[in-house]
Amino acid sequence: TVTSNIQACPSGSCVSLKIDVPDGNDFLYPGQYVQVLPSDAAADTKPLFLAIASAPTGTPPKPVRPSAKKTSEADSAAGPDEVSSPTPATWEFLVKKTDNNAWLTSLPAQATVSVSQPMGSGFPIADNIEGFKYDFPTQNILLFATGSGIAPIRSAIESRQLNVARPDSGGRTCTLYYGVRTPDDMSYVSKFAEWEEMGVQVVPVVSQPDVPCESGAKWGGRTGYVQNALEEDGVPIPRNSGALLCGVKGMTESVKSMLMEAGVFEGRCLTNF
């Protein structure tokens, strides 16, 4: 059931949806996505694939150290864990309006839709950011998003699975580069202060700052593309850095190439698909 559908940014190019689901236990990792269909969809209707923007509502299993694998294998042989009972949850989605999804972006509150269980394994944070694959512990995390690609990045931030330290505490640092076309296309602006308090430095980047905004906003921040901002700032401690990326293909490929050239391990440049 759709519990709310509101404009997500001043331009109205995206909407923010809240949908109640009967069981949220299988949403374990930021970056997981669902298939959404009209509740009365015909058999040949193509579903929309949407990344969940809110924090995971299930509890992921604890990562297993290599030395503990034998114990876990023995536990598996002893039988399955108890199955948890369904726990209702509310999931949030950020949806860019297109001709193909007007049926969803225009839905009123209390409308019903068909939502699949979460799919994909999300961003493999536990294995590659926290895991024991590399001799260099992760001390710095870089987040890259364009447009509605901020949705799964928001999920990662608010999941606290990134283990980012509060500002000036000397722990793991984190910077978010968030690219949009105009200031009016920027979603979640109201959350930036909250994310900064959690230790995430937010760097918004606008590619077309001179386009007149209906809101009257004038842009005085970073301009160009996300990859330009990364090039200007460089990558501190690349061997001890990891990255999460979501957005247009040109951005993710360009940024990944720049990170690896700087010395970031390829396995620490994470996407959610």
Q: What is the DSSP letter of 119?
A: B
Give 269's contacts (C-beta < 8 A, 6+ positions apart): 242, 243, 245, 256, 259, 260
What is the share, in percent, of the chain residues with pLDDT greater than 90? 83
Burial bucket for residue 255 (CB in 10 Å: 0-12, 13-18, 19+) = buried
Which pLDDT score, from 0 to 100, does residue 268 have? 96
Q: State the Cα–Cα distance between residues 14 and 77, nearest whole angstrom.
A: 48
What is the share, in percent, of the chain residues with pLDDT greater than 70? 92
Task: Name the average pLDDT for the chain.
Answer: 92
The per-residue pLDDT for range 50-77, each reduced to its tens digit, is 999 999 999 988 766 655 555 555 555 5
Q: What average pLDDT score do residues 238-259 get?
A: 97
- The 10 Å Cβ neighbour count of residue 110 is 9
Q: What average pLDDT score do residues 203-230 get?
A: 95
- The strand pair at 48-51 and 33-38 is best described as antiparallel
pTM, rounded to two decimals: 0.91
Nearest Cα residue to 17 out of 61, 40, 50: 50
The per-residue pLDDT for range 108-142, each reduced to its tens digit, is 999 999 999 999 999 999 999 997 788 899 999 99
* C-alpha torsion angle, residues 188, 193, 199, 204 (rounded to 10): 50
Q: Is the pLDDT of residue 24 over 70?
A: yes
Q: What's the token pair of residue 39?
A: 């509740």
- The strand pair at 89-96 and 113-115 is best described as unpaired
Which pLDDT score, from 0 to 100, does residue 167 have? 82
The helices-and-strands tally (H runs, E runs) of the chain is: 7, 12
Q: State the Cα–Cα distance between residues 109 and 140, nearest whole angstrom.
A: 40
